[in-house]
Amino acid sequence: MDVLLGLVFSFLWASASTAAKYSFQGQPPLTILSVRFAVAGAMMMTWHYGLRRDGALPRGRQWGQLAIIGLTNSTLFLGAAWLGLREVPVGLYSLFLATMPFQVAILSRLWLGRRVARREWLGIAVAAAGLAVVAAPSLARSTATWLGLILVIVAMVSQAIGAVYLKHAALDLPSGVINAWQLALGLGFLLPFAAALDGGAGLRPTPQMIGGLAWSIVMVSVVANALLFTMQKRDPLWASTWLLLAPVFSYLQAALVLGEPIGWTDLFGSALVVAGLIISGATQGQTSEKTEARKNET
């Protein structure tokens, strides 16, 4: 079940950058992202508070915690990422995404005191080597700008901080409720940036834009985020390790959607990424946190 959870999450997470690159060219990025947050947040609120009636309202310090999660996981991460995708290719963006486990491992060590097992470090290193093999050809032809690189770095660091903070906060709320409120609060933080940076430009509805927005709302903002929060609440490093597989899916999706070719380096690099996941224990859900818990039980 852990493997299926990770694979579905990786595939959906990877599709976000491909959809953005394909569907939103020429559109104001932060305005579209604001619409995505608003619609996805409204759907989640309606589901939990209107239909299922299983959502408890946040209390006290939980509002501040949700605001930090919304700022890091939604506003800064996706806002910087979508702006950066205008300046860098999808492959290069995916390569930066693969640095998440390294950042989460360091932050977890410093912030949570979590022990990072040797097999996790080794698995991350092997998978990262695979990503380098996959990304090298596109890096050689890269037309990225320094602004794009800085924006992507801001996005990755923001998401790493958000992942570790979510574990640190230990919110006593369902994952879907956390997702709904972080989207709503993230929208509040995003709107001033959208107004300032998009210059009041309106959306130009096209079948391509509508389809990409619908996919981003339902499959990424709702489904993928729900899976991410579920995985991060269990263990942020285990969750971020599955992000190493997202670039592989990005290349496959780019080949199918954008017609980009797949070479032998892509296949070899993909094999290394899968090997890294197996070595780290991610495919078995065997994080060091679980191992430690079993030791305590015995």
Look up residue 244 and give its DSSP letter: G
Check if the beta carbon of residue 122 is closer than 8 Å to that of residue 272.
no
218 phi and psi angles, rounded to 5 deg: -80, -55
| Whole-number pLDDT of residue 142 | 66
* pLDDT-flagged residues of the chain (< 70): 55, 138-139, 141-143, 200-201, 282-298
Model pTM score? 0.76
For position 291, what pLDDT does the model report?
A: 42
Give the angle subtended at the CA of 133 by the CAs of 220 and 127, to the nearest 5°: 60
Q: Judge contact between 180 and 108, C-beta under 8 A.
A: no
What region, left, alpha or beta, does residue 285 occupy, with left being phi > 0 and alpha being psi -120 to 50 degrees?
A: left
Which ranges of the chain would DSSP assign to H, the alpha helix?
Answer: 2-23, 29-45, 61-70, 77-84, 90-97, 100-107, 118-140, 146-169, 175-197, 207-215, 225-234, 236-241, 246-258, 264-280, 288-297
The structure tokens listed for 16 are: 């976000």
